[in-house]
Structure 1
Amino acid sequence: MSTSPSDSIGAILRRQRMKDRLKLREVAPVADMDAALLSKVEKGIRLPTREQLQKLAAFYSTDVSEWEAKRLAEKYWRDHADNPAATAAASLILESAGIYAVNKSGGILGITSASKTPARPADSAPS
């Protein structure tokens, strides 16, 4: 699972800012940043904090949930991309949520959800 630059949270934030024809220095204070930090976020050099992302989503009148999911995915990948077990760990996270990747000839065709409720790990089932 790699995140292409066009899918990155920084690219999304930049597209939103450009669509609204705003300058970095106009948007940055909304999220308690300076223009240089927002520029680094937009270029994918830094990730915004959860709080900064929430403030930006409110400013743009956008639901933060998809942006937060992208931020978390990018953070996970940045922290663990060099670990050979990272992909297996991501698969375990999906599996524990009842979401399974469908593979055919080594390619991922899509994601199917076994249930709407996240699966409870066996050792934490109610007694």
Structure 2
Amino acid sequence: MAEYTRKEVVEEANKLANMLANIEEIDRFKQIEAKLNENQKVQDLIRRIKAMQKQAVNLQHYGKKEAQQKAEKELERLQDELDEIPIVAEFKEIQVVVNDILQMVTGTIARKVTNEIVRSTGGDVLTGQTKAQMENDLTHHHH
């Protein structure tokens, strides 16, 4: 079994991060984000939404129910207006894709590490329990 130092693992993680940072989807994400930041209409709407959110919170704080509901309706309208802008929809889509990729990578690593630990302690890979957990039943409390 090869032994690795923590330093070596961190170096590999950096390499992996560089690879990830340069895949096509991330590149697209950066391009779309840049377009989003340059889009005056989008930025204006975001500013108005943030201001309206603040207002809604204040109105709630002072118990001004009717005004609060009005603010929330306006907030919804602004949000819909924002969502109708094509670049915004595109940004949300690519955001989901990028998140999925990151989840897949971290999930793969976590799963593999867990399985290795479980296997090396003579635990059960199927339930993901280590031997100590199986023997003491730490994870399931039966009443």
TM-score over 0.5 for the alignment?
A: no
Larger proportion of helix = 2
Larger proportion of strand = 1
